[in-house]
Structure 1
Amino acid sequence: MSQTSVSDALTWRYAVKKYNPDAKISATDWKALTQSLLLAPSSYGLQPYKFIVVENPAVREKLKTVSWNQTQVTDASHYVVFLYKDNVDERFIQKYVDRIAEVRGATPESLEGFKAMMVQNIAQAPEEKTRVWAQRQAYIAMGFLLETAALLKVDATPMEGFDPAAYDNILGLEGSGWKTVASVALGYRHTDDAFQNLKKVRFAEDSVIEYVK
């Protein structure tokens, strides 16, 4: 893919306000979008996040009511809720270490040092610090999803305008160790969405990007 095509895709994208409820994402494109979430980078590779794809119309209607009645929640082809691990403890870290051993054929003993470092820096850190760290990791995954969607010419809307605690309740997350932090609606813009015709507003490059030589 050329530099021009990437730039064109990123210029084309915007946070859609009105989706076409009849336009659905193909299975092939959806597979690519899910891969962007699975392959997104995270600190230590620990992935302290999960994603709930809400397909049930009744559940999406409930989520809409606690999302300031934003129609993206119900009208988009797919609606993804981003969760973060509320308590990244040693058990979660061990689960990741076990996965490394499985995928790479490593011995648990060879990973003890790496595990100890993560336990010290994350599991034993102040809870609020770890919580904010986990939320930031989820947003990295969101960025990968948004760019992949733009490259596929799939519309996407990142969203925080909702009641996270209400989402947790509706999705049955109490006691699960996971909490809602954000969401992304994906699908195709409605022809009536006037925002698609507006020019993208960004600060000039030289006021945003600075080089230290």
Structure 2
Amino acid sequence: MSLIEDLQWRYATKKMNGNTVPQKKLDYILEAARLAPSSSGLQPYQVFVIANKGVQEKLKAVAWNQSQIIDASHVLVFAAWDGYSEERIDTVFNKTMDQRGLPHTTMTDYKNTIWGMYEPLGQDWQAQHAAKQAYISFGMAIAAAAEQKVDATPMEGFVPDKVDEILGLNEKGLKSVLILALGYRDEANDWLVNMKKVRTPKEEFITELS
């Protein structure tokens, strides 16, 4: 199937049946998330994969008791940096230079430019910017899930501070941004499964300037 057909197939699954997503499919989805583009290639986020039912129960309790979290095969939590720093930027660029066989000084001017822009904007702006990068990765993951015929439920309905506490994100300098539940639809009990997909018409969604 084409990507468009896959996206037409997917929907925000409201009830999952508890079946396990094969590791090969999970790995594919996670690799799509890892390969996503990000501003300056910094990838200021991580993905936490939760299959432990005890942890999923704790997450459900702080996510409006959405059943998908416990019925899912795996729950992905996208967590972004809580801010930028010279050290964090240096670490990413130095690793990149190592992989490319170049001196660490190769990108010094660019690194200084980035930090010079980001530092004055403050930590709140930085955290929001990092969160936006996580959304790009999230989008790649949900598209990959559709390609693999794995159902997915995107979630912003949770208490971030509580999720951060459960997963120990504060100690890692991270903040939870999004949750993606992965599994398989319970067709007999999901009220949305046979509903028509509705999106803004093309002529209203797209404006072409020439």
Short-chain TM bin: over 0.9
Partner of 2:15: 18
How much is the aligned-residue C-alpha RMSD, in angstroms? 1.2
Counterpart CA distance in 2 for 1:60 and 1:111 is 42
SS in 2 for 1:194: coil
1:164 to 160, 163, 170: 160
Aligned to 1:149: 145
Of 186, 192, 206 in structure 2, the residue corresponding to residue 190 of structure 1 is 186
* 1:99 paired residue number: 95
Give the paired residue count: 209
Counterpart of 2:134, as a letter, is A
Gaps of 5+ in 1: none
Q: Normalization by structure 2: what TM-score? A: 0.96
Equivalent of 1:126, from 116, 122, 147?
Answer: 122
TM-score scaled by structure 1?
0.94
Aligned mates of 1:170, 1:6 — CA distance in 2: 35
Alignment-derived partner of residue 55 in structure 2: 59
How far has the Cα of 1:124 moved from its partner? Answer: 4.0
Matched ranges for 1:169-184 at <5 A: 169-184=165-180
Identity of aligned residues (%): 40
Structure 1 position 180, deviation (Å): 0.7
Superposed counterparts of 1:26-41, under 5 Å: 26-41=22-37
What is the letter of the counterpart of residue 71 of structure 1?
S
Whether the 8 Å contact between 2:72 and 2:184 is mirrored in structure 1 is yes
Query: Within 2, Cα distance between the matches of 1:45 and 1:124?
Result: 21
Unmatched segments (≥5 aa) in structure 2: none
Distance in 2 (alpha carbons) for counterparts of 1:103 and 1:123: 27
What displacement does 1:123 show?
Answer: 3.6
Partner of 1:83: 79
Partner of 2:197: 200
Q: Which amino acid aligns with 2:96?
A: I
Match of 1:200, as an amino acid? K
- SS of the aligned residue for 2:192 comes to helix
